[in-house]
Amino acid sequence: MQPKTPLFSGVFLADKPSGWTSHDAVMLLRRKLGAPRIAHSGTLDPLATGLLVMLVGMATSRQAELQKASKAYEGVISFGAETDTLDAAGKITAQSPLPADVYERIVSASARYSGEIEQTVPLYSAAKRGGVPLHRLARQGRSPDELPVKKVTIYAWELRGWQAPDLSFRLECSSGTYVRSIASELGKAAGCGAHLKVLRRVSAGGFSLDRAVSLEAVKDMTREQAAALLLPLP
């Protein structure tokens, strides 16, 4: 008789590399732990890196609660080029020279990012229109006449450095905030367009990236080594 697989439960903090989907991360941990019940508390786009809070076993019952938690990001916005997806994964749709006062325009436009704001949902996103994901409509060439608008909350927005054409930043925001939309809005305000070049999640729901382990490292772990990294939910 085969011994039963141990029933693991807890939180696994993963550092997702660029190019991985959040689903890829779930499948890896599922295979590694032999645990059928694994979820995460907030998707990261394939281009993005950083903290993915993964819930194992009984911890999956807290998924809805943790998905609503605030998140923090660090990243880079590149000015002078727009893309169809609003980030570096997309095709360039327009290019413009940077105005002489581009940084002053960015600083002025940044004053908007405090408290509750309205955001236009990106066309290339999982949000749905008529039950169909917008990104699917976009790839079929069936863009809706009007994109949805949603309210989000910006807790902190910090400009960290400017080396033309790139702006580095740190953002703390509510769940569901589209950082790509902020990049696009700032590009319009600057008069030259922009797209999100780099995005890294550094915290989510009280958990920090400095305690996360690279998913590439998880590949080489034994089941016991991976299970030893599980944290209890507070």
**Are 101 and 173 within one domain?**
yes
Mean pLDDT over 143-164 rounds to 90
Confidence check: pLDDT of 156 > 70: yes
Whether 170 and 223 map to the same domain: the answer is no
Q: DSSP H helical segments within 75-133, as ranges?
A: 102-110
Q: Same structural domain for residues 180 and 218?
A: no
Is the CB of residue 230 less than 8 Å from the CB of residue 54?
A: no
In the block, residue with structure tokens 């772990």: 221
The DSSP code for 59 is G
| pLDDT of 163 | 98
Question: Same domain for 28 and 79?
Answer: no
Give the up-direction half-sphere exposure of residue 1: CA atoms within 13 A in the CB hemisphere. 3
Angle between helices 102-110 and 179-190 (to 10 degrees): 130
In terms of Cα–Cα distance, which of 162, 36, 176 is closest to 106? 162
% of the chain residues with pLDDT over 90: 78
Query: Tens digits of per-residue pLDDT, 30-57?
Result: 999 998 899 998 889 889 999 999 999 9
| Domain co-membership, 219 together with 128 | no
CA nearest neighbour of 9 among 34, 28, 27, 42: 34
pLDDT-based confidence at 198, cuts 50/70/90?
very high
**Are residue 158 and residue 177 in the same domain, yes or no?**
yes
Q: What CATH number does residue 153 fall under?
A: 3.30.2350.10
pLDDT at position 144:
67
Q: Is the pLDDT of residue 13 over 50?
A: yes
Residue 2 pLDDT exceeds 50: no
Q: How many CA atoms lie less than 13 Å away from 43 in the CB half-sphere?
A: 12
Same domain? 96 vs 193:
yes
On whether residue 3 sits in a domain, the answer given is no
Contacting residues for 194 by C-beta, under 8 A, at least 6 apart: 77, 78, 79, 80, 81, 82, 183, 184, 186, 187
Structure tokens at 8: 């693991």
* pLDDT on residue 94: 98
Does residue 135 surpass a pLDDT of 90? no
What is the number of structural domains in the chain? 2
Q: How many other CB atoms sit within 10 Å of the CB of residue 140?
A: 9
Residue 5 lies in a domain: no
- Judge whether residue 5 has pLDDT over 80: no
94 φ/ψ angles, rounded to the nearest 5 degrees:
-160, 145
Q: Which structural domain range is residue 219 located in? A: 10-68+206-227
Q: Cβ(158)–Cβ(74) under 8 Å?
A: no
- 133 belongs to a structural domain: yes
Q: Are residues 117 and 156 in the same domain?
A: yes
> What pLDDT is attached to residue 68?
93
Q: Is 87 a catalytic residue?
A: no
For strand 49-56 and strand 38-40, is the pairing parallel, antiparallel, or unpaired? antiparallel
pLDDT bin (cut points 50, 70, 90) of residue 130 is low
Does 45 reside within a domain?
Answer: yes
In a domain, 189, yes or no: yes
Please tell me the distance from the alpha carbon of residue 162 to that of residue 116, in angstroms, as a whole number: 26
Does a structural domain hold residue 199? yes
For the cut 50, the answer to whether the pLDDT of residue 205 exceeds it is yes
My answer on whether 187 and 222 are in the same domain is no
pTM of the model: 0.90
232 falls within a domain: no
91/129 same-domain check: yes
Which tens digits make up the pLDDT trace of 53-103?
999 999 999 999 999 999 999 999 999 999 999 999 999 999 999 999 999
138 and 32 co-located in one domain? no
> Does residue 190 share a domain with residue 108?
yes
Q: Which one of the listed residues 15, 45, 84, 87 is annotated catalytic?
A: 45
